[in-house]
Structure formats: C-alpha cells, structure tokens
Structure 1
Amino acid sequence: MSNLLHLSPAGSGVHPDLLKSAGGFAWWYLDLIDEQGDGLVCIWSFGLPFLPGYASASRRGQPQLPEHRPSLNLASFKGGKLDFYVLQEFEPEEVFWDAAAEGDRWTFGQSTLESIQDGEERRVKLDLHLRMPDGQIATALMEARGLAVHHSGQKPDAAHRIIDPLPDHDWVPLLCNARASATLHAHGQTSTFEGRVYHDRNGGQRPMHELGIDVWTWGRLAFPSRELIYYVLHPTDASRPAQTLVLEIDAGGQARLVPDLQLRERRPAKNLGGLRWWPEQVLEREGQAVITIDNRQRLDSGPFYIRSAADARDLERDESARGISEVCDPARIDLDIHRPLVRMRVMQNTRPNSMWLPLFTGPRQGRVSRLVTSFLPGVNAAQQEQPAPRTREQR
C-alpha cells in the first residue's frame, strides 16, 4: 500500500512522542448520525492542520510541535444544515493526555474524553464544556459502546502504540456499527441525538501538505447490515494512480477490505472557495454501479475542506444508508488568502479572536443577534471576566 494512507493494526493507539514531531498531527474523530441524517461530529486533536498558522509555519521551514496546538471541534447538523459549531483552541497547559494500556483519556480545559478498550469492546465517552464567545458554556454528553473494530485476523489491541516507523498517514477505525446517544445544550437550546456511531483516529510525523496528496475523499455509510468506509487519495504525481481503500465492517466489528470496489467520482464541481468536489459518487464493481452516493447536502464548505451529509443506496442489496463524506485538498490548507476567513471560526481562550467569531460559533439560531450584542459597549470587558478553564491542579 502506498504511503498516502496506511491501515494500521486493529485498535492500535498513537504514542505520545508523536506530539513532539515538528509539523506532525494526531486527531481522533467521532460522529453520530440518525436515520433522518441528523447528528454531530467531534474531533479532538494535536496539530490539526486546519488551525490558522500551523501549516504555513511548516512551509516557512519553522514547523510547530503538535503538543503546542491542541484543539477541540464540535459540530451538529439538522435537516442537512449546520446547526451548531465550535472549534476551540487551547493552551498546552490546559490539555492532558493519559495514554494507558487499555486506551486513552484526555482533558481539554473543562472537557473530558475517553476511548477505552474493555476486552473486545470499546467504550467512548465525551463530556464537553466549551466556552462560547459571549462567555457562556455549551455542554455536550455522548456515550457509545460496542465491539471494537478488528481485521486481518488480529484482535484489537489498544496497548499497541506505533511510533517508529510511523506511516506517513496512519489510520485506524476503532468503533463502528454501534449505537450511541448524545445531548447538546447551548444558549438555552437543547438537541438530542440517537443513532449509529463511527470512531477512528489518524496520525503522522510529517505535515499533511507534504505527503503527496492532491485531494482526498472519505466517507462512512451506515447501512442496516454493515458499515462501509471508503477512502480515496489522489496523488500530486499525476503519473501515479489514486489509492482506493474500501472497508466493510459487520455487526461483530470484523472489518474486511473490499478490493473489487472502486469509486467513480463523476461530474466534479467547485464551491465558492474554488475547491473541487463531487456532488455524486458511485462505487463500482467491474464498471457496474453498486452503491450510489449523494453528497449535495453540504454541511461545511470552505476553500480547502467540504463535509456533506451523504445519502447512499446499495443497488445490489436494496438498502439505503445515511452517512458523512469529506473532501480535502491539503495544498490549499492555511494559505494567506484564506487565513482571515478561518480565524473567524476559531475560538481561542487567551489570544484575540476575530470580531466575527460570534457569527460562526454556537447555535445557528440567534447567531446574528449574538454578533450584534458583541459590538455593544462593555460586552467585551464582561466576557473577559469569565473564569478560565480549570487546570488539573484546580480539579
């Protein structure tokens, strides 16, 4: 398998030493989606390439350490539209990572997260307390439990932590085809979700934009009988073929590669930011359509990244699926022309934020009034008086 993407041993974790690899990255991803296509996505990370200034520092020959750029992102969506969003960056002293033999536990400010292996099961719990631009705290609680993903005849092993040699782009699905519930409360609005959950992790010791990836598309589809994950990476070297990885995961957590399925990305389009994407995709076998994927409900659309609520149909099994799909162009991440737009969506506790942050952070309902209120005299001073996230010693 090429170095664009590597499927690592089942259940394996990342070694904390990765956080000292200049320009590297490590993130953990979890999404929940119900039968109507509503749900939420949470990403906790060190060295998230999307953070302002992170990729550009590497391009200047001054790469930052992942441990110096921790962040937590939570987004919910309803009816095919983004309903809540926050991307909060933390100071390194606010974040703790306990990498134990059975799995991982993290603290990001006032939020606690865990992804733990319990025998052949994996347990995930997120208890989030995220500060909004006006000083209020948004809370979210999610719990999931199910059979851990395993493949290649290997039992899932959370104690196995790869660091040397770590693949350029290391990927491990951890929990799929399982049920979860979540509650999100912010600015007097409460949303509840219950549905299928997907959980994985990615890591690498080199900057994402140096891995030779021109563009990648990823998706996870929650069919009634199984989970289907597809990852297609187009290399910057046009003489090389795209790398396609299709993974099918059954109710027992058993994952198997499906080598005879190929993704046909027909009729590409461009969003307002100039990013190439595919409103419709088809998984084919020997040129015959097997699964059609409709990505037209875009939840997040920017100059280097698009997330969509996917609606899929398995023509062979006569099954429908809801899911999430993504498109990313690493070379477009953190360009000077885009950075002011990205800063509008990143909440920082100890550094100045964009004046437009209230328009993009928090619930969709009421965002304009929150922006207007933030311009009123004395509001900024009142916000600065809000207590800072507690340190470990204070807890």
Structure 2
Amino acid sequence: MIPWPNEIDERLAGFNLAVPPNGYAWWYIDALSDDGREGLTIIAFIGSVFSPYYAFARRGGLTDPLNHCALNVALYRDNGNRWTMTERARGRVARTVNALLIGPSDLSWDGTALTININEVSAPIPGRIKGRVRVFPAAITKQAFVLNAEGNHRWWPIAPCARVEVEMEQPSLRWQGEGYLDSNAGDAPIETGFRDWEWSRGALRDGAAILYEAERRDGSRFDLAATFDAQGNMQPFERPALAKLARSGWRVDRNARSENGAHVVKTLEDAPFYARSVVATTLLGEKVTLMHESLSLDRFKLPVVQAMLPFRMPRRR
C-alpha cells in the first residue's frame, strides 16, 4: 500500500495526471437513492479501458490514451434505465488539475464537492441525458493500492463515504443518496494484468465497507476487505464466507461475501463480460446493500464481444 501517484491530496490527485501510451485513468462514482428506488454510476475515462476502438488502435503499437476518452453515465430507474458512453478524441478533451472536459460534459473539483455536468446522448436508442450530479465526500482517504507486482495498475478509494445530489433535466430526476468515489490508473491495458475481478461497496451505520477480489494474469490474487469511517480511516477485516449468487443473463459468474447468505436484489447492468448488481448481504453483523460488479476480462478480449461493443459505445471524432 503506497500513496499514488506520488502524494495524495484533496485535489483528487489531479485530472491532469500523466497517462502513458496504452495506459488509462478513470474516475468512478456510484450512488443509491435514500428510498432505494434510484441509482447511478458515472465513469470518466482517459484511455477508455473497454473501448473497442482503443483496443483496435493498440494492435498497431503505442496509442495515445487522450484519443480515446469517454464519460459513461448510467441511470437506474424502475421505469427504464438510461445509458451513454460516447468516445471522444484528443481535440474534444481538456484538463487541469481540478477539471476534466470530455466533449460537451465536464467534471470539476472545488475542494468540497465534485460536480459533473452531463450533456450526452444515449445509445443505441438516441435520447438526451442532461443534468448535474454533485458528490460531497465525507473525507478524502490517504490510502491507495498497487494492484500487481509490476506496479502498473493502481487504485485509490478516494471517498468511500459520500453524499450525492442528482438534478437531471433529461430525464427529469431529482434525488439524494449515499455514494462513493474512487479512481484507477494503469500503464498498460487492464486485460494484460487481470483475468477477472469482483468488487463491491456498501454503506454501514458508521462508514462503508469495500471488498475487492481480483485474479491476476499470473494466477496470483489481490484480495481486500476493509471498512472506512466518516473520517476516511481504514480498518481491514476478515472476509466472511463466499456466497454464490445467481449468474447474470449473459452467464457472468457472481459471488459475494456474507455472514448469513446473500442474494441479488436487482441486476443493473448485464453485458457479455460484465455485470453490475445490487446485492443484499450481511457484513460485520449488519445487513448491507452492496453496489457489486463482476468483470471477466477473458470474455472482454473475445473478438465476438469486441464486435458487439460499438453499438453501445459510439465514437465521435
């Protein structure tokens, strides 16, 4: 466990951090509404790790990650989800230490809140997604993690405890809830470092719990179970037993740690190589609702999967 990149501070390590050729960086937000009926995820990518265009370009050699940037927004609702992930080239990207612009959308940090102004079009069925999301971290953590022996994949759980405010014009939405903010960065394509992983986080009475379990390409593992309090202090805990969950519609394996069984409440994303779910479990004596993801990078690499991706990930030059 080391600080990353060199010093972690309250500027979120800088949106202008260096991203080498074939590398990546992303900033991830998720949230569930207080009434449990709404949810969202937002991911800002430099060097979009799941982009078929970036993967194809890398076959020709070293590739500029700034030519493959995207803002992924997913809104989860009982009356219909919305999803967008349009890739932009370097000419539509601008960044400073505290701000990142990708096409018509942007993120900015003012020392108190991360504000995301969204102005995107969904795919494959076009529809406007426009509005503002604000993330208020309870604290900024000082822990970051190197995920493999080579040190070329890194993860920082920036704000395990946060409040999120959602004000969307299109579709018309307004809600608040508990949320989460982190960042990942790497100096090589993510599929070269890992076979698969399962990650989840959930709010506790006095903080949040994070579980991260990944199998590296060399067969070794990165496994973490930790709680974070409202001040950002981390405390590892012993992982409870693994509970087998129902496979996704695309037959992606899903598992969760639990002291008393676990089950999928709702599948939010169901893709050939990825599933995002709401999972009910028990951790540290508490009933916990997890935002949970399962990722198969072996599946992601398959040519047939790569051929499917442009239908949901258009590219604008």
Which TM class, normalised by the smaller chain length?
0.7 to 0.9
Are the equivalent residues in 2 in contact too, given 1:166–1:204 (CA < 8 A)?
Answer: no
The yes-or-no answer on 1:298 pairing with 2:277 is no
Relative distance call for 1:264 and 1:72 in structure 2 (3 A) is same
| Partner residue in 2 for 1:24 | 23
Aligned ranges 1:206-217 → 2 under 5 Å: 206-211=188-193, 213-217=194-198
Are the equivalent residues in 2 in contact too, given 1:225–1:251 (CA < 8 A)?
Answer: yes
Work out the CA distance in 2 between the residues paired with 1:91 and 1:236. 30
Work out the CA distance in 1 between the residues paired with 2:208 and 2:243. 23
- Consecutive unaligned residues in structure 2, runs of 5 or more: none
User: Deviation at 1:295?
Assistant: 3.2
| CA offset digits 1:103-145 (Å, max 9, x no partner) | x2011222221134x3xxx421111111356876421211222
User: Deviation at 1:296?
Assistant: 4.9
Are the equivalent residues in 2 in contact too, given 1:146–1:175 (CA < 8 A)?
Answer: yes
Work out the CA distance in 1 between the residues paired with 2:284 and 2:28. 29
The yes-or-no answer on 1:226 pairing with 2:217 is no
The residue matched to 2:307 in structure 1 has which SS?
Answer: helix
Work out the CA distance in 1 between the residues paired with 2:61 and 2:240. 37
Work out the CA distance in 2 between the residues paired with 1:315 and 1:292. 13
Are the equivalent residues in 1 in contact too, given 2:33–2:177 (CA < 8 A)?
Answer: yes
Partner letter of residue 203 of structure 2?
Answer: A
For residue 111 of structure 1, the aligned residue among 105, 124, 128 is 105
For residue 89 of structure 2, the aligned residue among 84, 91, 114 is 91
For residue 168 of structure 1, the aligned residue among 147, 152, 159 is 152
The yes-or-no answer on 1:200 pairing with 2:169 is no
User: Deviation at 1:68?
Assistant: 1.0
Partner letter of residue 228 of structure 2?
Answer: I
The yes-or-no answer on 1:48 pairing with 2:48 is yes
| CA offset digits 1:274-318 (Å, max 9, x no partner) | 43323xx224xxxxx2x65433521111121111122233362xx
| Partner residue in 2 for 1:367 | none
| CA offset digits 1:40-87 (Å, max 9, x no partner) | 1100011122111323544x36242211101010001124x8611111
Which of structures 1 and 2 has the larger relative contact order (alpha carbons within 8 angstroms, sep 6+)? 1
Task: Tell me the TM-score normalised to structure 1 length.
Answer: 0.69
| CA offset digits 1:220-242 (Å, max 9, x no partner) | 1012221111111123444x4x3
Work out the CA distance in 1 between the residues paired with 2:46 and 2:150. 16
| Partner residue in 2 for 1:336 | 303
Relative distance call for 1:277 and 1:321 in structure 2 (3 A) is closer
Work out the CA distance in 1 between the residues paired with 2:70 and 2:161. 27
Relative distance call for 1:123 and 1:293 in structure 2 (3 A) is farther
Partner letter of residue 305 of structure 2?
Answer: H
For residue 242 of structure 2, the aligned residue among 258, 262, 265 is 265
The residue matched to 1:18 in structure 2 has which SS?
Answer: coil
Work out the CA distance in 2 between the residues paired with 1:312 and 1:36. 18
Are the equivalent residues in 2 in contact too, given 1:247–1:257 (CA < 8 A)?
Answer: yes
The residue matched to 1:13 in structure 2 has which SS?
Answer: coil
Aligned length: 308
| CA offset digits 1:180-233 (Å, max 9, x no partner) | 2102232xx31222111211100010111111x221000110122211111111
The residue matched to 1:342 in structure 2 has which SS?
Answer: helix
Relative distance call for 1:132 and 1:210 in structure 2 (3 A) is closer
The yes-or-no answer on 1:182 pairing with 2:166 is yes
| CA offset digits 1:238-280 (Å, max 9, x no partner) | 4x4x32112211122222333xx225434365445443323xx
User: Deviation at 1:16?
Assistant: 3.9
| Partner residue in 1 for 2:282 | 313
Work out the CA distance in 1 between the residues paired with 2:297 and 2:62. 16
Are the equivalent residues in 1 in contact too, given 2:201–2:292 (CA < 8 A)?
Answer: yes
Are the equivalent residues in 1 in contact too, given 2:41–2:73 (CA < 8 A)?
Answer: yes
| Partner residue in 1 for 2:225 | 246
Are the equivalent residues in 2 in contact too, given 1:56–1:335 (CA < 8 A)?
Answer: no
Task: Tell me the TM-score normalised to structure 2 length.
Answer: 0.85
Work out the CA distance in 1 between the residues paired with 2:207 and 2:261. 16
The yes-or-no answer on 1:323 pairing with 2:304 is no
The yes-or-no answer on 1:128 pairing with 2:118 is yes
Partner letter of residue 235 of structure 1?
Answer: R
Are the equivalent residues in 2 in contact too, given 1:151–1:256 (CA < 8 A)?
Answer: no
User: Deviation at 1:342?
Assistant: 1.3
The residue matched to 2:304 in structure 1 has which SS?
Answer: coil
Partner letter of residue 93 of structure 1?
Answer: G
> Which structure is larger by alpha-carbon Rg, 1 or 2?
1
- Consecutive unaligned residues in structure 1, runs of 5 or more: 157-161, 284-288, 351-395
